[in-house]
Amino acid sequence: MNVEYSYYGKNPCLIIKGIEFIKSFNNDEELYLLEVAVDGFGAKFDVVSHFDERVNAAIKQWVTKTGKVLYVIKDRTIGRSTLDTWCEVYVRNGSRLIEIVISDNGRQFSLNEQEEY
C-alpha cells in the first residue's frame, strides 16, 4: 500500500491512487494498511477520518483505476484563531474533482453516494 502526503491548496492532504484503493478491498492485509494510513492521518489532526463502509462504498463507486482519492484537512479560521478542523474526502479522475464527503462547518457532513448518469 503506497500513499502520498501533500497539500491541497494550503491544506494537508493524504493521497491514495485509485488502483491501490480498489485493490486493497481484495486483500485483508492491504485493507488494514489502508485503514491505518487513513485513520492515522485523521488522528494526527484530531478529526474523523471517514474510513467506514458507506464512505468506502461511495469512493469505490466514483474512483477509477487511474484516479486518486484525497483526504483533505479543512479548517475554519477567524483572524489567527482556528475555530474548527475536519476532514473531507474527494475523488480526482483526470481533471474532474468529485466531492465524496464535504462540510461547511465541520459538524455536519454530506455524503455523495449516488453516481450521476
Average pLDDT value for the chain: 92
Residue 12 region, left (φ>0) first, then alpha (ψ -120 to 50), else beta?
beta
Helical segments of the chain, H only: 18-24, 28-44, 53-62
Domain assignment of residue 58, given as a range: 3-11+21-103
pLDDT of residue 85: 93
116 lies in some domain: no
- Backbone phi and psi for residue 30, each to the nearest 5 degrees, phi listed first: -65, -40
Residue 46 domain flag = yes
Q: Structurally, how many domains does the chain consist of?
A: 1
Per-residue pLDDT reduced to its tens digit, 72-110: 999 988 888 888 999 999 999 999 999 999 998 888 899
**Cα–Cα dist 42/60, whole Å:** 20
Q: Assign 117 a pLDDT band (cuts: 50, 70, 90).
A: very low
Rounded mean pLDDT, 58-65:
95
Global confidence as pTM: 0.92
Residues 6 and 15: beta-carbon distance below 8 Å: yes
